[in-house]
């Protein structure tokens, strides 16, 4: 049994991490100010975790949560490319300054390893596919720039202080409990909800933009493996499935599952959005033992089932 601290544990991915850790018998602390996280993600396990309701931008407030912790899974952030375009300062403060505070607290507490959430968006306008970690990052949104800075701080803390860090570049994570209500929500929960409501989903651009959609259980496995892997300190790894699907193809898969023929509404592409995304995950497999178990179709089936049950 180990003691984990999950920052952003009330978020979509953070909540899944907390549930998995508890299920296998670990001790779990959570830091979340619930500015983007949701209390309902932790409602069924509230009595089983230590919860510190604080903002990672406040170093003095979060420092006590790191005492006696073995591993930190740093998920707290202001997510979303469009949100960062609308308010780049807030994204910087949470994602960069907040991460610096987390790393300092982890260093001072003698934490064994920090695993942090980065993003495939760091590749930005680099046109080469698949994305390989050795590629030059070319961020085209403030969000992507903040994630690249997070990675730089993490590797610098390993080089300067010996704090072991691993950054995981998530590719379009989806799954149950993902919030479809925000204007910045991810595409799969939005599409599911709109189609279930009998309304046309909105596609920004021509719908031919493609993504390497990654079911959330695979991301959980990546975090837990990265925390204890012998190698990988100071490095960043792609976390995905190594397959890509266009938004039009996604809709073609969703319609028969949901029994609808509703067509999408197409609007102008959004600033900062990447056209195509596809990951090479061989480094994550070899170095941190990443082994995705849930393919896209099975993940989509589980996700749709969740939203259907939610709507009933």
Chain segment 198-240, per-residue pLDDT in tens: 999 999 999 999 999 999 999 999 999 999 999 999 999 999 9
- Residue 271's pLDDT is 85
The confidence score (pLDDT) of residue 242 equals 94
> In the predicted model, what is the mean pLDDT of residues 62-72?
98
pTM: 0.95
Terminus-to-terminus CA distance in the chain, angstroms?
A: 39
Token pair belonging to 32: 């979340």
Mean pLDDT of the chain, nearest integer: 96
Evaluate whether residue 106 is within a structural domain. Answer: yes
Q: Which residue from 159, 160, 286, 169 is spatially nearest to 232, judged by alpha carbons?
A: 286
> Residue 6 pLDDT > 80, yes or no?
yes
pLDDT above 90 (res 273)? no
- Is 218 within a domain? yes
Nearest C-alpha neighbor of 84 from the set 271, 210, 274: 271
The answer as to whether 115 is a domain residue is: yes
Higher local confidence (pLDDT), 271 or 19: 19
pLDDT interval class at 244 (50, 70, 90):
very high
Residue 113, pLDDT score: 98
pLDDT at 185 > cutoff 80: no
Cα 271 to Cα 256: distance, rounded to the nearest angstrom: 31
Identify whether 310 is part of a domain: no
- Tell me how many degrees the CA angle 118-218-79 measures, rounded to the nearest 5: 30
Give the torsion through C-alpha atoms of 242, 248, 251, 253, to 10 deg. Answer: -50
Question: What is the 3 state secondary structure string of 194-206?
Answer: HHHCCCCCEEECC
Q: How far apart are CA 92 and CA 109, in angstroms?
A: 25
Domain count across the chain: 1
What does the DSSP 8-state code read for residue 131?
B
Report d(CA 80, CA 170) in Å as an integer: 12
151: containing domain: 3-174+213-241+280-293
pLDDT for 181 equals: 82
Query: CATH number, domain at 130?
Result: 3.40.50.720
Query: Would you say residue 184 has pLDDT above 80?
Result: no
**Reported confidence tier of residue 272, pLDDT bands at 50, 70, 90:** confident
On the question of a cis peptide bond just before residue 130, with omega within 30 degrees of 0, the verdict is yes
Structure tokens at 255: 């319609």
Cα-flanking dihedrals φ and ψ of residue 6, to 5°? -110, 110
- The verdict on residue 162 lying in a domain is yes
Q: Which two tokens stand for residue 102?
A: 């987390």
73 closest CA partner among 228, 230, 215, 184: 228
The kind and range of the H/E element at 140 are none
Cβ atoms of residues 107 and 122 within 8 Å: no
From the candidates 123, 143, 170, 215, which is the catalytic residue?
143
pLDDT digit string, tens, across residues 112-145: 999 999 999 999 989 999 999 999 999 999 999 9
* Alpha carbons 29 and 50: distance in angstroms, whole number: 5
Active site (annotated) includes residue 143: yes
């Amino acid at each position: 049994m180990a003691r984990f601290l999950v920052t952003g544990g009330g978020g979509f991915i953070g909540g899944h991490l907390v549930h998995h850790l508890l299920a296998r018998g670990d001790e779990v602390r959570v830091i979340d100010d619930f500015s983007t996280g949701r209390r309902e993600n932790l409602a069924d396990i509230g009595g089983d975790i230590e919860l510190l309701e604080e903002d990672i931008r406040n170093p003095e407030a979060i420092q006590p949560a790191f005492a006696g912790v073995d591993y930190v899974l740093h998920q707290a952030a202001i997510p979303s490319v469009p949100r960062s375009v609308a308010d780049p300062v807030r994204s910087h403060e949470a994602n960069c300054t907040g991460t610096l505070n987390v790393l300092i607290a982890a260093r001072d507490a003698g934490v064994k390893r920090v695993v942090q959430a980065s993003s495939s968006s760091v590749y930005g306008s680099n046109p080469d596919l698949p994305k390989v970690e050795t590629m030059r990052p070319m961020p085209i949104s403030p969000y992507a720039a903040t994630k690249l800075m997070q990675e730089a701080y993490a590797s610098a803390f390993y080089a300067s202080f010996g704090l072991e860090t691993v950054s995981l570049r998530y590719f379009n994570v989806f799954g149950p409990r993902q919030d479809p209500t925000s204007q910045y929500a991810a595409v799969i929960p939005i599409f599911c909800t709109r189609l279930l409501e009998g309304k046309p989903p909105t596609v920004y651009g021509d719908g031919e933009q493609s993504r390497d959609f990654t079911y959330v259980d695979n991301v959980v496995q990546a975090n837990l493996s990265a925390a204890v892997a012998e190698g990988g300190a100071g490095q960043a790894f792609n976390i995905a499935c190594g397959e890509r699907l266009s938004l039009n193809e996604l809709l073609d898969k969703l319609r028969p599952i949901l029994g609808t023929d509703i067509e999408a509404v197409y609007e102008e592409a959004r600033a900062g959005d990447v056209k195509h995304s596809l990951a090479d995950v061989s480094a994550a497999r070899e170095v941190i033992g990443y082994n995705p178990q849930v393919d896209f179709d099975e993940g989509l089936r589980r996700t749709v089932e969740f939203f259907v049950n939610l709507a009933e």
